[in-house]
């Protein structure tokens, strides 16, 4: 029984006992038991919610200088976004230029496509949690455009933060977006053709591997979109989410 409920039960019972015009409904023994349960509960540390638990991790990430070159080049770290109580968590590669500027993962073109995929699944960004393997944008030589992939050393250095995020959020299902996310999370290299579309596991959590939305931006073929969508249908099934006929037939 939670502390406020227990307190009000005890208060109500004591009031009844004290009043002369009503017969008491609880014996002294019951009252004593309730009181000792109440003081036991009060002595327990209050359970911290997941937002509170994520805060110190976010702060350590914010000031992290483990990759000195990235700490110098970043505008800011990009921790993660969404619902800390989410059942579903997406893992990407690393912030791009838009994410580095805005401090939020998946807000550029690839991010907008991810948001569309979520909508098609009947989710808002606020319903799920989104994070990356790397919390800093991989640096690029000045004057060049585009992104570079994180190095294995950068991924190994940053991975413990993601591990902490997953441990706190405890999602029911994880989705890794692209081969780099898979390598960062599982330390496993493979082709997306082999990896995607089937269930893997990370520490006992079901893990679906699918294409990164940036791949879909480069390959506009409906067949590729359908593959990602089939992966997301498997995710919805795993989460026991209802799936409409319209959803089943997307991109067919």
- Residue of the chain from 61, 82, 83, 99 that contacts ligand URA (CB under 6 A): 99
- Decide if residue 111 touches ligand URA (CB under 6 A): yes
Between CA 215 and CA 180 the distance in angstroms is 12
Instruction: Say if CB 183 and CB 155 are below 8 A apart.
Output: yes
* Identity of the residue, 94 or 209, whose beta carbon is nearer to ligand URA in the bound complex: 94
Between CA 74 and CA 226 the distance in angstroms is 35
* Identity of the residue, 13 or 155, whose beta carbon is nearer to ligand URA in the bound complex: 155
* Identity of the residue, 24 or 103, whose beta carbon is nearer to ligand URA in the bound complex: 103
Q: What is the pattern of x (binds ligand URA, CB under 6 A) and - over residues 128-157?
A: ----x-------------------------
* Identity of the residue, 105 or 171, whose beta carbon is nearer to ligand URA in the bound complex: 105
Q: How many CB atoms lie within 10 A of CB 162?
A: 23
Taking the complex as a whole, how short is the minimal distance between the CB of residue 103 and ligand URA, in angstroms?
Answer: 11
- Decide if residue 95 touches ligand URA (CB under 6 A): yes
- Decide if residue 106 touches ligand URA (CB under 6 A): yes
Taking the complex as a whole, how short is the minimal distance between the CB of residue 215 and ligand URA, in angstroms?
Answer: 11
Residues 6+ apart with CB under 8 A from 233: 243, 247, 248
Taking the complex as a whole, how short is the minimal distance between the CB of residue 53 and ligand URA, in angstroms?
Answer: 22
Using the rule CB under 6 A, give the single segment among 36-44, 89-97, 153-161, 193-201 that binds ligand URA: 89-97
Taking the complex as a whole, how short is the minimal distance between the CB of residue 98 and ligand URA, in angstroms?
Answer: 7
Both tokens of 196, joined, read: 């995607």
Between CA 174 and CA 85 the distance in angstroms is 13
- Decide if residue 105 touches ligand URA (CB under 6 A): yes
**Sites of contact with ligand URA (CB under 6 A):** 92-96, 99, 105-106, 108, 110-111, 132
């Amino acid at each position: 029984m939670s502390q406020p409920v227990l307190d009000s039960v005890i208060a109500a019972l004591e009031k009844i006992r004290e009043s002369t015009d009503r017969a008491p409904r609880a014996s002294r023994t019951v009252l004593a038991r309730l009181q000792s349960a109440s003081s036991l509960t009060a002595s327990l540390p209050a359970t911290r919610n997941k937002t509170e638990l994520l805060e110190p991790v976010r702060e350590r990430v914010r000031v992290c200088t483990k990759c000195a070159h990235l700490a110098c080049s970043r505008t800011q770290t990009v921790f993660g976004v969404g619902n800390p109580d989410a059942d579903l968590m997406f893992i990407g590669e690393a912030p791009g230029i838009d994410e580095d500027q805005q401090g939020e993962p998946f807000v550029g073109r690839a991010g907008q496509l991810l948001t569309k995929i979520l909508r098609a699944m009947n989710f808002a960004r606020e319903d799920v949690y989104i994070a990356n393997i790397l919390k800093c944008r991989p640096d690029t030589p000045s004057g060049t455009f585009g992104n570079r992939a994180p190095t294995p050393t950068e991924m190994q250095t940053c991975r413990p933060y993601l591990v902490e995020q997953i441990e706190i959020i405890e999602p029911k299902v994880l989705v890794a977006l692209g081969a780099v996310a898979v390598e960062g999370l599982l330390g496993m290299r493979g082709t997306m053709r082999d990896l995607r579309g089937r269930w893997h596991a990370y520490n006992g959590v079901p893990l679906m591997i699918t294409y990164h939305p940036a791949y879909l931006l480069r390959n506009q073929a409906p067949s590729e979109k359908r593959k990602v969508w089939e992966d997301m249908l498997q995710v919805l099934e795993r989460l026991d989410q209802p799936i409409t006929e319209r959803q089943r037939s997307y991109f067919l």
